[in-house]
Amino acid sequence: MSKITLLLIFALVSLSTYSAANIEKHPSDPYIIKNYNRYEGKQVFLRAAVLDIGRNNDEYIIQGETGGIIYRIFVKDNLLDRIPEKGDLIDFRAVSYLNEGYVVADEAHIRTGKEHRFLFIRSLAAIPVLLLALWRERHQLFGGS
């Protein structure tokens, strides 16, 4: 096995171990939703699909869904870069009251479904570039074989 392969395997194992050890410090969306009792009254970062939108004075009440759980997101209108629509994705930092079925957002960013799909297409376009870079690196290291 080449040194580069061993280095890549070591890096993968190290990152996986670090991620598992720090899940409490930097939890993922599914982890927060599954263990929402632990985050009651604490700040969380989540992404939700917008199911419905309502308005109450100076804030929007967005019905969102993350990991199969449906809840309300209260967002002041001055925090939004645009008015959300059904099907959009909202990334937000909020104080969690998921025991009661809602969160209060401190920060929010909305992306359309098209923007979200375009992000994946852009990522796919990077794969050939990465493969070319690795292929060139291999040929430089091993003398063109």
Exposed/middle/buried for 120, CB within 10 Å: 0-12, 13-18, 19+? exposed
Contacts of 62 (CB under 8 A, 6+ apart): 48, 50, 52, 53, 54, 72, 73, 75, 84, 90
> Looking at the structure, do residues 123 and 104 belong to the same domain, yes or no?
no
> Looking at the structure, do residues 32 and 99 belong to the same domain, yes or no?
yes
Question: pLDDT tens-digit profile of 55-82?
Answer: 988 899 999 998 888 999 999 988 888 8
Question: pLDDT tens-digit profile of 22-47?
Answer: 766 667 888 888 888 888 898 888 98
> Looking at the structure, do residues 129 and 142 belong to the same domain, yes or no?
yes
